[in-house]
Structure 1
Amino acid sequence: MRYARLTPGHGFKPANSFLYYLQRIIVSPHLRGLCVRMFRNWVRARHGKATSDAAPAHVHLLDRLHAEGYAALGNVLSANQCDDIHAWFADKILTDRQDETSMFTLAHVPSAARLAEYSLHDIVRCPHILALANDSRLLELAERYIGCKPTISQLGVRWSFPTPGLRSDLQTFHRDSEDWRYFKVIVYLTDVGPEDGPHVYVRGTHKTRAPMRLKIQSDGEISREYGDDRLITAVGERGFGFAVDTAGVHKGSPPVTKPRLMLQIQYSLFRSYAYVYEPEPYTGNFPFDRYINRLILA
């Protein structure tokens, strides 16, 4: 997805910028909580609820996500499904995240490429991805965590390459600020061990006060501030997925031995005004909830 222009210039929309920075400047967990309760009641009144008031089927995942900001989901895709996804993307165009003019296929990755992404056009046509993003278990978890019917506000498939030199900001500890309330489901599409670019999360930091000006932090700063015992390093075979509230401190470690491919699905209260949304046409009977998918599918 393209980033929106949030400062004056070509493509700048003052209303979008205001709504983005409004949720950025309210950093008090208590005040943010009040805002979330008000907004989710508004969404419920307008769009209803997708789940019943009965106890959720996977209450332990919800409890873990609330308590730690991270919950392992186990293998949400099979090895065969991962093979299908790899086959689909084999000849599709990647765009360098740090240089939008650099586009290439997996067979011709430039030596300087560090992070590269596939287009939404190709992602929504890939087998298994939309079905997973709309899986009833994930939607139930999203609705329970956010407090109302969720919005899929980001859908991405990204390669991380073992490239020497300085890390990307995404590969250094940081916080996200996507919306008032949100979380991501990350699914590894390649086997990920300690040297293969695992996601690292600082347990419980989603409940702490974030600075108004987001910053990156070194491994040493994180170790001194939080202690190494609070680090969760997510490793697993291809198909392994986890839910993570990236308002907490986290990073995607740079791979050392081999490239890493991951799928990222973001569920949020509203749209993220950090992005420009260009929903992709979807043909067929549209088996998915239109409200939940409105930013992704036309």
Structure 2
Amino acid sequence: MINTLLRKAKRAARPDFWLFKWQRSVTGLPLRKASINIIKRMVGNRPVAGTKTLDIPNVEEHILSLKSKGFTNLGQLLSQSQVEAIKAALKNYKCFDPHNRAVGQFDPAQAPLTCHTAHYHREDLIKNDIIINIANDNAILKIVQEVLGAVPTISNINCWWSFAGRSKAEHAQLFHRDVDDFKFLKLFVYLTDVTSTDGPHIYVSGSHDINKATQIRRYQDDEIKATFGEENIKSFEEPQGSLFLVDTFGIHKGMLPQKNDRLLLQVQYSLLPLYVESYQPVNLPAKNKLDHYVNRLLLKQEN
């Protein structure tokens, strides 16, 4: 309890924390869009080069889908060997429950029954070549940059287990909007097969650009169906190795798995750093050729 209070007090003492609070207070679309236009001019735009990791055709179609629907399905782009290599690396790392840090670190196979999601530490994930190369893929960066309208920042890399068999949905397993930054996209990578009973990502098509249900809270299914129409609710049921990009300011949730645990990798691209985060860049000399600005929050780079 004392450690939690100290952590909150330390965070509140940082100026960027109050920038984050201000950003969260701007929920209506007209003011958010006006703020986005100002930030885009501040950040600026230029060509960004990345890695050649994924084979993504029809880049322009993905850009149009993101702008109009708020999501685009990139397809099953990772091979089984790539997926297994990521999983093998994860076996070396411990997890934590972001909603109950008091339980400490644990092996996901021994997660407490009260834990709905077990997250890996970002500093561990960054060290994986496959993960950092996916995050910096040329086509992904091109799509993201075009949609954001400025040079993107990789502001987070996350990976977590969502456990089946829990009694009820909690937290992000209920419909909500993300307000991590004024403008951002998230790349989702399924590392397990996901069917309707394995906790698929659920997204309301077009809701990223509809000025309804903008209050920061959790929404019940009936509310969302009544507001946006059940026909606009999209369920991402895909095999392992599948990727999709989503504007999660749009209404979404991760279903509570009923049958099998779900393992998901996520890369976040934003206009600004996530001011609620505390970054500790990792020194990976082999990755010095990656764009310094795009990776500045995660990687130390030597001149």
Scaled by the length of structure 2, the TM-score of the pair is 0.89
Query: Partner of 2:145 in structure 1?
Result: 143
> Aligned equivalents of 1:135 and 1:98: distance in 2?
31
Q: Does 1:48 align with 2:50?
A: no
Query: Partner of 2:93 in structure 1?
Result: 92
The within-5 A match list for 1:147-296 is: 147-209=149-211, 213-284=215-286, 286-296=288-298
Q: CA deviation at 1:57?
A: 5.9
Query: Partner of 1:59 in structure 2?
Result: 60
Q: CA deviation at 1:297?
A: 1.3
> Aligned equivalents of 2:143 and 2:151: distance in 1?
10
Scaled by the length of structure 1, the TM-score of the pair is 0.90
Which deviates more from structure 2 when the two are superposed, residues 198-207 or residues 84-93?
Answer: 84-93
User: CA-atom RMSD, angstroms?
Assistant: 2.2
Query: Partner of 2:22 in structure 1?
Result: 22
Q: CA deviation at 1:114?
A: 1.2
Deviations 1:81-100 (A, max 9, x none): 00101111123201122221
> Aligned equivalents of 1:251 and 1:66: distance in 2?
20
Deviations 1:34-68 (A, max 9, x none): 22222212211xx73427xxxx9611101000101
Deviations 1:200-254 (A, max 9, x none): 0011110122666401011122122222101010011101011110001100001
More helix, by proportion = 2
> Aligned equivalents of 1:140 and 1:90: distance in 2?
32
Which deviates more from structure 2 when the two are superposed, residues 149-158 or residues 7-16?
Answer: 7-16
Q: CA deviation at 1:12?
A: 1.6
The 1:27/1:91 distance shift into structure 2, 3 A limit, reads closer
> Aligned equivalents of 1:97 and 1:20: distance in 2?
19
Which deviates more from structure 2 when the two are superposed, residues 246-255 or residues 17-26?
Answer: 17-26
> Aligned equivalents of 1:205 and 1:126: distance in 2?
34
Q: 1:104 aligns to what SS in structure 2?
A: coil
Conserved? CA contact 1:186–1:241, under 8 Å: yes
> Aligned equivalents of 2:187 and 2:153: distance in 1?
13
Conserved? CA contact 1:196–1:260, under 8 Å: yes
Conserved? CA contact 2:123–2:280, under 8 Å: no
The 1:210/1:265 distance shift into structure 2, 3 A limit, reads farther
Conserved? CA contact 1:84–1:127, under 8 Å: no
Gaps of 5+ in 2: 50-56
> Aligned equivalents of 1:127 and 1:16: distance in 2?
30
Deviations 1:171-219 (A, max 9, x none): 0001100111111010100000000000000111101226664010111
Query: Partner of 2:31 in structure 1?
Result: 31
Gaps of 5+ in 1: none
> Aligned equivalents of 1:146 and 1:154: distance in 2?
16
Deviations 1:86-141 (A, max 9, x none): 11112320112222132211332333321011112220122410000000000001
> Aligned equivalents of 2:20 and 2:11: distance in 1?
15
> Aligned equivalents of 1:204 and 1:192: distance in 2?
23
> Aligned equivalents of 1:168 and 1:105: distance in 2?
21
Length, aligned pairs only: 288
Query: Partner of 2:54 in structure 1?
Result: none
Conserved? CA contact 1:189–1:263, under 8 Å: yes
Conserved? CA contact 2:208–2:251, under 8 Å: yes
